[in-house]
Structure 1
Amino acid sequence: MRRLWDAREALLLAVAASLLVAGAATLLFEAAALGRIAWSLATALGLAYSTAAITAALRRRQPSVDLIAWLAMAGALLTDEPLAGAVIAVMLFTGGTLEARASAHAERSLRHLAARAPRLARREGPDGVDTIPVGRLLVGDRIVVGTGELVPVDGRLLEAGVFDESALTGEALPVEHPAGDDIRSGVANAGNAVRLVATETAERSTYTGVVRLVEQTQASTAPFVRVADRFASAFVPLTLVVAGLAWALSGEAVRAVAVLVVATPCPLLLAAPIAITAGLSRAAGRGAMLKGGSALERLADGRVLLLDKTGTLTRGRPVLVGVVAADGFSGDEVLRAAASLDQMSAHVLASAVVTGARDRGLEPASAEEVRERPGYGVEGIVEGHRVRLGKSAWVIDGPPPSWARRARRRASLDGSLTVYIAVDGRPAGVLLLADPLRPDAPRMMRTLREAGITRTVLITGDRADMAETVGRLVGADAVFADRDPSDKLDIVRAEQDRAPTIMVGDGVNDAPALAAAGAGVAMGARGAGASAEAADVVLTTDRIDGLADAILIARRSIRIARRAAGFGMALSLAAMAPAAAGMLAPAAGAILQEAIDVAAIALALTALLPGRVHTVAMPPADLAVVRRLHAEHTAVAPLVERIREVADGLDDDPPDSAPLRELVDRLETELLPHERAEEVQLVPIVADALGPDPFGALSRSHAEIEHRVRRLRRACVDIGDPPEPDEVTDLRGALYGLYAIVLLHNAQEEENAFSLMPVAETARKRRVALPAGPRGGRRS
């Protein structure tokens, strides 16, 4: 019975179409009376159906375009024009069937998502591996995921693996993830069995959030209600006036019926939902889940873009940006020891440390007797040495040494976090972590301006200096720093009074602002995020350029929907004149209306064609080159940080020139060949994808980097050992200048080149970035 009820529109369409055809067939047997009965029955079915729709609209206190169809069918029966009524009924049932099919497809998708959700997990413990319900998993549990199994909760990999992420990102090809990478629930293990540490519970994991978002989307209103009803508020009165005048001036009710027939708003009932549904589907394919057609329309109407900083314009997760080692230790030793401990930890900072070590080619060792000290850090035994990792007060007794003060000063200037490490009770170094700007953010902001965003506003609770830095980098028109959730809400309301707004955020504190904005956009689909619950749009992938794609798709879809509806209504208005003059009979008007519908629907179907989007697709051969160069780009990042470390080390008394000579050797053998390869291979590829404009600056910076390395080589030949004070000053300036140029150059490459790689690959965290001031954590 449930299936029969769900298929009622299709059944009504089949019955009405059969009665229409049967009525036409009776004309062949000269049984016109029977035919009129069949058409009248079809019209009566249409009347009953539209009566239910009008009643539902009245309960919602909304105008309804079904009123014209109801009047046309009623008039057709009263004026003995049942054929016209039957044609209109078939059109109505066709629209209802399309809507029901779309709803049924969405419900099937939801059932598939829910059925696919992991139910059981294999937890590794001291006594072996036990199979338990997913709901019993806790943060920090070790999990084994076999080949073909779904990852049950969000976690961090303890060993490398290959995963099918198509259910979350749409990426068709399996993606390789090294040990230390964060992995999201719902993805399938496409390689050998792997182990991971749970970083979220089942309720707070990504896949649960996706299912919840789909449920909210299905509970939203039909996608074409707002567009159709806006037309109805103007079109229905106009149609009634024309029909009434035609009847009053001619005295013939059939003319009024003819007007109502040609004015039946099937382009609204068919064309508009086709265009909008196509937009929703295309946006979902780009990683933007919109909660119904009204969300699509509000997103398309937005002119002012308000953005939270942390997690929206920045990654929202810290990455390793530097290592300062104490005397007697090397940076690699310090980082490897820290990663060895942190690979066992579920803390948010642990992933950054482990990933930073692997980026430098350092494989963490096994750790024993690992213990977390909440609020302080973690300690354990690594290769026979007791290692402690955490806050300064927990690691350093007494006044901090000079290297620690230098690291703290650098962290304060850059807005970085500091994590201190001690080996066998001796302070060994400091790890510097920062929240980097998303590499695609500046390019996305430029694209949004091209798409019609007239004002961009950055709102954050972070410090003013950090907020102003990020605002300048992305080109924001206004920056509001040190704001709490109530302040954000006030700002959104003030901007909404001026123009339609779009608010983007990712935290619980963003939820009120997201709800108050014209269109709220939440970054990420984490299940517990109140921002995802309050938002109209959720970006299910960890890339902000999905927002640019969603806005472009929304505007194009709404534009086509309005164009198709307006085109059909214009033709209907044009047909009213001959109908009112008695030149068009109701039956002929119904056939003409069918032709108008076909034309409007054909126009609406253009929404299914590819349109302009922000994301750029590269040929496979070019993508392979970009991947290789990106791997090299990541590999030389520690060498870039070494430039600053050597410059800082020139403060020692007496200064040692050996690290400088070693650095220049490495720059010539590692950095310069990479920059030359990018100039020859990367610049032409990305210029083909985006156009040549941004790449003159990249080529110039390639040349400038090589020039400055050559200057350093000449300086190494001329300086004394130890260097004279004036030589130290010149060397320090040259090193800091080279460091700044390479940082800027790398940021340009991240923005214009490497951000073009597919979602699954660019979700990896970058090491070289301008910091944006993460807050909190156990080790700050």
Structure 2
Amino acid sequence: MDLILADRWKSAMLAIAAAGLGLGLALRFAGPSGWAEIVWIAGVIPVLLALLWEILRSLWRGEFGLDIVAALSMSAALVFGETLAAAVVALMYSGGTFLENFAEGRARREMSALLARVPRTATRHRDGTLEEVALDDILPGDLLLIRQGDVAPVDGVLASDHALLDKSALTGESMPVRLARGEDVLSGSSNSGDAFDLHVHRRAADSTYAGIVRLVEAAQASKAPMTRLADRYSLLFLVVTVALAVAAWWFTGDPIRAVAVLVVATPCPLILAVPVALVAGISRAAHFGVLIKGAKPLEALAQIHTLVLDKTGTLTDGRPQIVEIERVGVLSEEEILYFAAALEQASKHPMAQAIVAAAHTRGTSLPVPGDVIETAGDGLSGTVDGRHVVVGGKDFVRRMVGAPAKDVSTHALGSVLVSVAVDGVLAGDIVMADALREGTPQMIANLRRLGISRIVMATGDRRAVAEKVTDGLGLDAVRADLTPDQKVLLVLTERKHGPVMMVGDGVNDAPALAAADIGVAMGARGAAASAEAADVVILVDHLNRLLPGMEVAQRARGIALQSVVVGIGLSILGMIVAAFGYLTPVQGALLQELIDVAVILNALRALRIKPAV
């Protein structure tokens, strides 16, 4: 609501300034009359009062900006009767603040998406029946029914014989995990198998998922906002401006020269051109599938030297893929995939869907399976083309057909075997893993070229799997077995090397994304919570889109810096000319408008940035 009110207030100030200047000019051209001066004053006063209020608020917060120069020029112009010059400055200033406010946007929104993932109600066992209860009514000791596809609303202990849980949103582990009776179930985990009972261990407010929400909120609150780019030069510029104005008045005795100096000094090129360049950069980055949530994140993105990467869904694809098909019997690889995929159509398991997708990718037409029986967490059996097929975990399938146990020690870490048997005979094994994204080594090299000097991987996965996946990538460090709060701590620790950018896609990454100087979320398939917490969202499922986003940010910031230098340089030159009496206040205001046009045209070059990567 505050942001909406701010937008409306700045729009109103711009409208008042524009109306005052326009109406006053119309009255002046209509003939000699004192009404033009009155209208100009009426248009300037509201803008000046609003400006003075903002200056007082900024000084109270310990901030110091170039707005003071604008206030001095408008005030001096009114005091010494240069009302037209004051009206022009008021329009320039109100237009600049309006554009800057537009550039900022709404970079932060409430974490409603994060909370929405957990159901507001749960199914509880009570006296032999089931009842729907509100989340806040769940107490330790209650017994809940978690149906297939449900998200565990609270932390608890598994009260059924087994359960198959997708914990990727919490730990980054891409493969569903099978739990046995008595093992812990974390809130935020999705049930990928059959329904199970959960013995409640903690209230909802004290559970893991609620803790992640609090981490995000705390991290966002602790991140200090960046100051405007132009304001960094404000103190020196103000000293030079006041010194020239006082000197011009002191040595000539003409206060109008001081007014002319102040009017020319009004830093509208900086107020206008800088946000224009940054907004243009934001628009250009969006063209390459990178959504940057405002001017401040773009400026920060251009200065990052340390990168923290999540593994699952970021460096890796985040979905199980077929790595290899190992034949055991007489069936070919295509036949093994055909029978497995046909039967797996009856399952919602992520690996089952990956096998079906792989068959479709190869153009295989799959028949409808019959007599399907699914053993939750183990596998399926059924008929395909009149033949009996069993697909599932290696131990389950071998037990069903009486085959010897499989030694998996020779397979890559992090891989999973899906065994296939046809007509009671073991046909082969489908090796599945969460594969590294294609082109990752080249992407890492390009990140180095763009100025990233330190790259660290942070994951909740096992260390052995993390090190295997990143082998040969040349990362500076690998941190594994991390909880969400440990990821936040890692980001804060890495700040000793400079500003930190964190890239992730899961709910477990959201706190670290919020804590980093720049948080980047994979928005195509990532959790909504991470997209909300992040400063930058990659809109397509390709991490290499980060490269053009960074290059656009760097070049847009460079153009903005050019605008600062050119704007200040031309303003100082105009101030000197005004101090010697060669510019009246109105002429100075018009000159400043010409300077505005020059630096804004330069800033718009950011719309034509063509990244090299």
8 Å contact from structure 2 (residues 21, 84) kept in 1: no
Q: Which residue of 2 aligns with 1:313?
A: 315
8 Å contact from structure 1 (residues 140, 345) kept in 2: no
Distance 1:477 1:225, change over 3 A: closer
Q: Which residue of 2 aligns with 1:25?
A: 29
Shift of 1:273: 1.2
Shift of 1:283: 1.4
Counterpart CA distance in 2 for 1:547 and 1:262 is: 41
8 Å contact from structure 1 (residues 319, 352) kept in 2: yes
Q: Which residue of 2 aligns with 1:609?
A: 608
Shift of 1:544: 0.8
8 Å contact from structure 1 (residues 62, 229) kept in 2: no
Q: Which residue of 2 aligns with 1:66?
A: 67
Deviations 1:268-309 (A, max 9, x none): 221111111111111122111122111111111101122122
Name the Cα RMSD after superposition. Answer: 3.6
Q: Which residue of 2 aligns with 1:266?
A: 268
Q: Which residue of 2 aligns with 1:453?
A: 452
Counterpart CA distance in 2 for 1:503 and 1:329 is: 47
Distance 1:530 1:433, change over 3 A: same
Deviations 1:230-269 (A, max 9, x none): 3435433443344344445555433332221111011122
8 Å contact from structure 2 (residues 258, 579) kept in 1: yes
8 Å contact from structure 1 (residues 23, 39) kept in 2: no
Counterpart CA distance in 2 for 1:386 and 1:63 is: 78
Unaligned runs of 5+ in 2: 110-146, 151-191, 193-222
- The correspondence for 1:282, drawn from 281, 284, 288, is 284
8 Å contact from structure 2 (residues 401, 424) kept in 1: no
Q: Which residue of 2 aligns with 1:769?
A: none
8 Å contact from structure 2 (residues 444, 473) kept in 1: yes
Which secondary structure state, in structure 2, belongs to the residue aligned with residue 474 of structure 1? coil
Distance 1:328 1:304, change over 3 A: same
Distance 1:242 1:35, change over 3 A: same
Distance 1:59 1:250, change over 3 A: same
Matched AA of 2:395: A
Which secondary structure state, in structure 1, belongs to the residue aligned with residue 257 of structure 2? helix
Answer yes or no: is 1:437 the counterpart of 2:436.
yes
Which secondary structure state, in structure 1, belongs to the residue aligned with residue 519 of structure 2? strand
Counterpart CA distance in 1 for 2:467 and 2:87 is: 65
Distance 1:81 1:359, change over 3 A: closer
Q: Which residue of 1 aligns with 2:134?
A: none
| Number of residues of Structure 1 aligned to a counterpart in Structure 2 | 502
Answer yes or no: is 1:11 the counterpart of 2:15.
yes
Distance 1:4 1:227, change over 3 A: closer
Answer yes or no: is 1:356 the counterpart of 2:358.
yes
Shift of 1:50: 2.6
Q: Which residue of 2 aligns with 1:239?
A: 241
Counterpart CA distance in 2 for 1:261 and 1:268 is: 14
Deviations 1:207-250 (A, max 9, x none): xxxxxxxxxxxxxx9x9962233343543344334434444555
Counterpart CA distance in 2 for 1:594 and 1:361 is: 64
Q: Which residue of 2 aligns with 1:546?
A: 545
8 Å contact from structure 2 (residues 24, 35) kept in 1: no
Counterpart CA distance in 1 for 2:254 and 2:524 is: 61
Distance 1:595 1:320, change over 3 A: same
Q: Which residue of 2 aligns with 1:518?
A: 517
Q: Which residue of 1 aligns with 2:41?
A: 40
8 Å contact from structure 2 (residues 313, 526) kept in 1: no
Counterpart CA distance in 2 for 1:375 and 1:552 is: 46
Counterpart CA distance in 1 for 2:311 and 2:98 is: 44
Equivalence map 1:668-683=2 (5 Å): none
Counterpart CA distance in 2 for 1:461 and 1:514 is: 15
Which secondary structure state, in structure 1, belongs to the residue aligned with residue 87 of structure 2? helix
Which secondary structure state, in structure 1, belongs to the residue aligned with residue 456 of structure 2? strand
Answer yes or no: is 1:302 the counterpart of 2:301.
no
Q: Which residue of 1 aligns with 2:478?
A: 479
Q: Which residue of 1 aligns with 2:176?
A: none
Q: Which residue of 1 aligns with 2:204?
A: none
- The correspondence for 1:343, drawn from 342, 345, 350, is 345
Which secondary structure state, in structure 1, belongs to the residue aligned with residue 232 of structure 2? helix
Shift of 1:392: 2.4
Deviations 1:674-732 (A, max 9, x none): xxxxxxxxxxxxxxxxxxxxxxxxxxxxxxxxxxxxxxxxxxxxxxxxxxxxxxxxxxx
Answer yes or no: is 1:78 the counterpart of 2:82.
no
Q: Which residue of 2 aligns with 1:380?
A: 382
8 Å contact from structure 1 (residues 271, 604) kept in 2: yes
Counterpart CA distance in 1 for 2:445 and 2:8 is: 51
Counterpart CA distance in 2 for 1:139 and 1:397 is: 26
Indicate the structure with greater strand content.
2
Q: Which residue of 2 aligns with 1:586?
A: 585
Q: Which residue of 2 aligns with 1:505?
A: 504
Counterpart CA distance in 2 for 1:239 and 1:139 is: 70
Matched AA of 2:332: S
8 Å contact from structure 1 (residues 224, 273) kept in 2: no
Shift of 1:466: 4.2
Percent sequence identity over aligned pairs: 42
Counterpart CA distance in 2 for 1:34 and 1:388 is: 92
8 Å contact from structure 1 (residues 520, 536) kept in 2: yes
Q: Which residue of 2 aligns with 1:333?
A: 335
Which secondary structure state, in structure 2, belongs to the residue aligned with residue 316 of structure 1? strand
Equivalence map 1:651-690=2 (5 Å): none
Distance 1:42 1:484, change over 3 A: closer
Counterpart CA distance in 2 for 1:370 and 1:6 is: 65
Mean Cα deviation higher: 69-78 or 435-444: 435-444
Counterpart CA distance in 2 for 1:19 and 1:531 is: 50
8 Å contact from structure 2 (residues 16, 43) kept in 1: no
8 Å contact from structure 1 (residues 303, 501) kept in 2: yes
TM-score (norm 1): 0.58
Q: Which residue of 2 aligns with 1:323?
A: 325
Equivalence map 1:704-719=2 (5 Å): none
Matched AA of 2:88: V
Distance 1:457 1:243, change over 3 A: same
Q: Which residue of 1 aligns with 2:94?
A: 93
Deviations 1:108-164 (A, max 9, x none): xx9xxxxxxxxxxxxxxxxxxxxxxxxxxx9879xxxxxxxxxxxxxxxxxxxxxxx
8 Å contact from structure 1 (residues 13, 97) kept in 2: no
Counterpart CA distance in 2 for 1:422 and 1:552 is: 52
Distance 1:564 1:340, change over 3 A: same
Indicate the structure with greater helix content.
1
Q: Which residue of 2 aligns with 1:596?
A: 595
TM-score (norm 2): 0.73
Which secondary structure state, in structure 1, belongs to the residue aligned with residue 489 of structure 2? helix
Answer yes or no: is 1:573 the counterpart of 2:576.
no
Answer yes or no: is 1:530 the counterpart of 2:529.
yes
